[in-house]
Amino acid sequence: MRVPMIAGNWKMNTTVDDAVALVKAMLPGLDRVGGVDKLICPPFVSLAAAGDLLKGTSVKLGAQNVFYEAKGAYTGEVSPLMLAGMCEYVIVGHSERRQYFNETPEIVDKKVKAALAAGLKPVLCIGERLEENEAGITGEVLTRQLTASADQMYFKSGLVIAYEPVWAIGTGKSATPEQANATIGFIRKLVAHHLGADAAEGVRILYGGSVTADNIAGLMQQPEIDGALVGGASLKADDFVSITKQASEAGGAA
């Protein structure tokens, strides 16, 4: 039985003070929701403050990115060792990292490996761009992105996959529940092909792309969708709590 997950990616939003206020606003509501893993991913500079507030609660903390080297002359980067002990999860390979920071599948794979070696659980994001979707090559793109990171070890270590079609991120144009379900089913088959049925059955695959309190229920009714990675709506405390509650009602394991 896969426990659903609702993860909030705050992206480059919130000062430390804003982040503290946002955690305080959503924490009581989130903490009460059972049967779903709840994860928030604030900016690096707010991880410590958010972590202090989350101590002793059921809400988990993640970072939005990580570098693959442990230490050294890499000005401005944050290593897995710095994050370990500070947070449990880390988003890796978000499409904005691939698009604006030229992260290739090979770089993403190195990050996944380094994160796992440090004891972090990666949320590996994959997804096709609009032109790739329109050209009918979604399957090839996802295969390339996933195959670089297809390693049995990853799946034993709590890796989560997020399918995020780039055309749906921040656009208000979510994939339909049926589209998301079909593509996530395809990804699960890819995992089965590389790593066998057990890995495929066990891995959580989230959908991400314009998820809101209005569309989460329909998405969660789909059998392949194990939760959501939420961007914009995770910055609104009431909306994020509502998304999490609805996920619990529709697919919670409790």
What is the set of active-site residues?
94, 164
Q: Using CB positions, name the residue nearest to ligand PEP.
A: 231
Q: Which is nearer to ligand PEP, 68 or 163 (CB)?
A: 163
Q: Which is nearer to ligand PEP, 199 or 215 (CB)?
A: 215
Query: Half-sphere exposure of 184 toward its Cβ, with a 13 Å CA cutoff?
Result: 29
Q: For 131, phi and psi rounded to 5 degrees?
A: -65, -30
Tokens of 196: 């066998």
Extract the runs of DSSP E, i.e. beta strands, from 139-236.
160-163, 204-208, 227-230
CB of 73 to ligand PEP, least distance (A): 30
The position carrying tokens 């066998």 is: 196
Q: Which is nearer to ligand PEP, 61 or 199 (CB)?
A: 61
CB of 95 to ligand PEP, least distance (A): 8
CB of 164 to ligand PEP, least distance (A): 5
- Given a contact cutoff of 8 angstroms between Cβ atoms, the answer to whether 27 and 51 are in contact is no
Residues 68 and 41: their CA atoms lie apart, in Å, by: 19
Q: Which is nearer to ligand PEP, 114 or 168 (CB)?
A: 168
Residues 109 and 89: their CA atoms lie apart, in Å, by: 16
Binding site for ligand PEP (CB under 6 A): 9, 11, 164, 169-170, 208-211, 229-232
C-alpha distances in Å from residue 70, one per residue of 38, 76, 113, 130, 231:
28, 13, 12, 35, 28
